[in-house]
Structure 1
Amino acid sequence: MPPQTLTEGLNALIRGKAIAPADLESAALFVLDTLACAIGARQTKPAQILGRISPPKVDDVDKSSFYVGGVAHILEMDDLHRASVTHPGSVVIPAAWAFAHLKDLGGKAFLQAVLAGYEACTRVGMAVGKEHYRVWHNTATCGPFGSAMAVAILGELDDRETVWALGNAGTQSAGLWEFLAAGAMSKHLHTARGAQAGLMAARLAKEGFTGPALILEGEKGFFKGLCPDPDPGAVLRDADAPWQLVQTSIKPWPCCRHTHPTIDAAIELHHVLGGEEITQIEVGTYQAAIDVCDRPDPTEPYGARFSLQHCVAAALATGRVISDSFESAARADLADLRGRVSVGVDLQVNAGYPDAWGTVVTVETKSGRRLRAQRRECKGDPGNPVTPNDLREKSAQLMQAAGISAAEVARFTDAVFALLDDRPVRDLRLEHLVV
C-alpha cells in the first residue's frame, strides 16, 4: 500500500467521526446563522449585483451556491473559526444547501454534510501557518476543501472520488487581501467562488474527473505554493477532538471578527465610565488584527468595519455596535474619539493567537482615572457562546431588516430546526434570498 496522503487521511478522519444529536443541533444553529446573514444582505448593492449575474435557482447549483456564498459574507456577521481564521459557514453551507435543494434531500443528511464540510475547511486552515494570512484570505483558499467535502458526503462519493474532489478543490484555491486597501467588493467573491468551486469539484469527481491526491503536501501543491510556514500535521492532529463546528464562533457584531474582543472589552468599560470624558485609548492586540484592522481614519462603511480604532470608539461612546455604527454620520461623530486611539501588539495576547483572539483595552479619563479591560474570549466564542435565543434574535433582526415579515421569519426559523426531524431542505425556500 502506498503511504496515506493528507487528503486520504482527512477523508478517513471525517468519515470515521461519530455524530451525536447535540452535534446536529449545533449544525442547525450555524445553518440558521449563515442563511439569516445571507437573507439580511439581500438588499445591499453587492447582493443586487451578484443576484443579477448568478440568481439562485433550484435546478442551477452553480449559480445558487455562488450567490448564497457571496451574500452570506456581505454583512460581516457570519461565523468564524479562530484556529483556522476561516468563515466556514459562508462557504460550506451554501454549497451543501444548493446541492441538497437540487436532489431534494432531507435535513439530517444535510446537517451531517455541514459538519463534514466545516471539518475539512478548518483542518486545512489550521495547517496553513500564520504567514499565509498576510497575503491570502484563508476562507477563500481553504473554503473549497470544505464545500467539496460537504457535497462529497451528500453526493455519496466513494473514498477515491472524495480525494479527487479535494484535489480539484485545492487547485482552485485563491483569494488575496489586496481588495481591502481599495475597499473593494472582492471579499464576497471569495466566499462565492469558494462555495461554487468545491461543489463543482465534487460533482466532477462523481463523474470520474480525477484530482491530485497530494494537493496539500506535494512538491507543487497547496502548502508549497501558498504557505511560507505550514504545519501539515494539523490536518490530521487530534482526530478524536470534538467536531470543529462546535469550536466555531458566532458573531454578535457586524464587523471584522478581529475587532470583536476589543469591542467586548470596550463595552464593559463604557458601563464603568458613566459618560466621563476620555483622553486616551490604548488597544493591545495580536499582530494579525493589526495587519487587517489598523485603520485610523476609515472613509467608507466597509473600511470602518475593519477599523479597530473606529470599533473601539463606537463601543466606548455608545455601549453597542450595530450596522449604523459604520455609516457616514457615525464616522463623523466618532472622528475625534477615534483620533485618541493608539493600537499596538500586546506580547501576551499575540502569543495566544490564533487559538485565542484576545485584547487589552486601557482608557485614561480627564479626571485621571486609568481603566483596563482584557479579553481572551469574547461573546460568541465557544467559551462564551451565544444562546439559541440570542441567535434567534440576531437572525430575526437580520431578516426583518431585509423586509421579511415577522411571521415569515418565524416560519423560516422553525423550518431550520425541523431539519433535525429530517424535514426536506427545500422547506428553506430560495425566494427569501432575493428581493
Structure 2
Amino acid sequence: MSAVNHSVTERLAQHLQRPIENIVRTRSRLHLLDWLGCVAGARRSEIARIQGRLSGDAAGKAAWLGNVLEMDDVHRAAILHPGPVIWPTVLGVGTDSLDEALDAGVRGYDAMIAIGSMLDGRHYAYWHNTATAGGFGAATAAAFRLGASETQLVSALGLAGSVTGGFWQMRHEPVMAKQWHLAHAMTTGSAAARQAVAGVTGPRLIFEGPQGLFAATCDAPKPLDLPEEWRIGEVSFKPWGACRHAHPAIDAALELKAKGALEGPVTVSTYRDALVFCDRADPANVIEAKFSLQHAIAIVMERGVPQLADFEPEAIAALAETRALVSVIEDEQFTNVYPVHFGAGVSTDLGAVVLADALGDPERPLSEQGVIEKARALMAWGGVDAAAMEDAIRITLEGDRVSDITALLEDWL
C-alpha cells in the first residue's frame, strides 16, 4: 500500500517507531520533574483532598493535579499541555523500568502534539485541545508501555479517538471539570491501549473519515506534520502560575518594571486568543485570577515576580485598584504569528517592551537549573519538606525505577 493511502493514524503509528536518543530521554526527565512539582504543589487544593478520600492508585490520583496550579508544560502550536496527561499514564502501566517509561512518554508527547497541531481555530473555540489530543497521547504512551504492535497502536488510537474531546464551558464556571478532562484522557487512552493489545479493533480513519473527528469539530484541519526531531524539544516550561496566554505580557511587564517604567495606566497588546481567555478585569476567585491579564500585570506592578500566593483571594482583593489601571487590546502583529509564537507588548507613558515569545519557550528557554528551582518552589508550596524534595529531584533525574516515583506520589497523596 502506498503512503498516500495510509490513514493519519497509520502514518503516525509508523513514525513513532523510530529510536529515541539519550539526549531526548534526558530532556524527558526534566518534564517528568516539572509535572511532579506541579502535582506536589497542588496538594493544598480541594481537588487533592477529594481524590485523597477516594480509592485508586497514586498515578490515577496524580492525573487530577498536574494542571491545578496552571504551571504545567505547554506546546504552543498545538495549544495543549502534554505533561499532566502523559506522565501519570506511563507511571500507571507497564514495567518498572524508568527508561522504558520515559521513552513511552516521549512518544506520547509526540503523538499528542502531532494531533493537537492538526486541530484548527474552530476546534479550539469550543474544544479543549489537551482533552481532545490527550486521549490519543495517553493511548500512545500506554500502548508502548504494553509492547503493542504497530497495528495494535493504530487500533488504540482509533478507540481513544472515538470518544475524545472536552468542551471549554468549564472556563465559565468555578468548577473542576478541567482536571476531569485530564484524568479522563489518561484513563480512556490507557483503557484503549489495553483493549487494543487484547485484540479489540478501532477505526483507522478516526480523523479523516466522513464521520470522524475532523468532520465533526474542524473547518480546516491542518495536515499531519511528522518532523524527525522528537517534539518534546518544542515544549515550553511555564515559570509563572497563570494561564500561558498571560505569560508574554508578564515577561514584558517585568522588563518594563526593571527599567523603572511600569507606572500609571498600562496598556497590554497581545493576540486575540489571549483576550478571549484572559481579558478579565475583576477576577472573583483563584482560577479567574490565573486567567486575568489585568491581575497578572497588577501583580508585577505592585509585587514584582509573580508568586503562587499572588493569585490567592487575599491578593485578588488587595490588587483591585491596580488592576483598574490595566487595559488590554488586540494587536494583529501578535495574532498573525499565533500560535507558533505567543507574544505581547506592555506600554506606559514612560516606555514600552515588546516580546515575541515567553520565558520558557524554546527561543527563551529555562535552564535545567531553572526547571529544578521551579520544582523546588512548587514542592515547597505543597508542603513537601526539604529532604523529601531533594530525594524527589534525585530519583527523577538519576533514578531507574518507576516504583520509586510512584512511592513518592503515594506519600504525597
Which range moved further: 156-165 or 312-321?
A: 312-321
Residue 169 of structure 1: how far off its partner (Å): 1.1
Partner of residue 409, structure 2: 432
Residue 72 of structure 1: how far off its partner (Å): 0.8
Residue 89 of structure 1: how far off its partner (Å): 0.5
* Count of equivalent residues: 410
2:13 and 2:154 in contact (8 A); partners too: yes
> For the residues of structure 2 that align with 1:215 and 1:389, how far apart are their CA atoms?
41
Partner of residue 335, structure 2: 350
**1:118-157 correspondence runs (5 A):** 118-157=109-148
- Matching residue within 162, 176, 180 for 1:189: 180
- Normalised by the length of structure 1, the TM-score is 0.91
2:246 and 2:296 in contact (8 A); partners too: yes
1:13 aligned to 2:7? no
Unaligned runs of 5+ in 2: none
2:42 and 2:66 in contact (8 A); partners too: yes
Q: CA RMSD in A?
A: 1.5
Are residues 78 and 54 of structure 1, via their aligned partners in 2, closer, same or farther at CA, if it must alter by over 3 Å? farther
Partner of residue 418, structure 1: 398
1:43 aligned to 2:44? yes
Letter aligned with residue 380 of structure 1:
G
> For the residues of structure 2 that align with 1:238 and 1:204, how far apart are their CA atoms?
26
Residue 157 of structure 1: how far off its partner (Å): 0.4
1:80 aligned to 2:74? yes
Partner of residue 239, structure 1: 227
Partner of residue 272, structure 1: 259
2:249 and 2:293 in contact (8 A); partners too: yes
Partner of residue 60, structure 1: none
**1:377-392 correspondence runs (5 A):** 377-392=357-372
> For the residues of structure 1 that align with 2:246 and 2:57, how far apart are their CA atoms?
32
Unaligned runs of 5+ in 1: 58-63
Residue 54 of structure 1: how far off its partner (Å): 4.8
Partner of residue 61, structure 1: none
- Matching residue within 293, 304, 313 for 1:328: 313
> For the residues of structure 2 that align with 1:173 and 1:429, how far apart are their CA atoms?
27
Residue 431 of structure 1: how far off its partner (Å): 4.7
Secondary structure, aligned partner of 2:240: coil
Residue 333 of structure 1: how far off its partner (Å): 2.1
- Normalised by the length of structure 2, the TM-score is 0.96
Shift >4 Å, 4+ stretches: none
Residue 313 of structure 1: how far off its partner (Å): 1.4
- Matching residue within 85, 89, 101 for 1:91: 85
> For the residues of structure 2 that align with 1:95 and 1:144, how far apart are their CA atoms?
10
The one-character-per-residue Cα deviations of 1:332-379 (angstroms, maximum 9, x if unpaired) are 222112112221111111001000000011122xxxx3x111111121
The one-character-per-residue Cα deviations of 1:396-420 (angstroms, maximum 9, x if unpaired) are 121122222211111111111124x
Secondary structure, aligned partner of 2:379: helix
Letter aligned with residue 192 of structure 2:
A
Letter aligned with residue 409 of structure 2:
H
> For the residues of structure 2 that align with 1:52 and 1:392, how far apart are their CA atoms?
30
Residue 52 of structure 1: how far off its partner (Å): 2.4
Partner of residue 277, structure 2: 292
Residue 88 of structure 1: how far off its partner (Å): 0.4
2:12 and 2:226 in contact (8 A); partners too: no
Residue 129 of structure 1: how far off its partner (Å): 0.9
Partner of residue 6, structure 2: 4
Residue 151 of structure 1: how far off its partner (Å): 1.0
Are residues 426 and 417 of structure 1, via their aligned partners in 2, closer, same or farther at CA, if it must alter by over 3 Å? same
1:266 and 1:312 in contact (8 A); partners too: yes
Residue 251 of structure 1: how far off its partner (Å): 0.7
> For the residues of structure 2 that align with 1:199 and 1:321, how far apart are their CA atoms?
36
Partner of residue 317, structure 1: 302
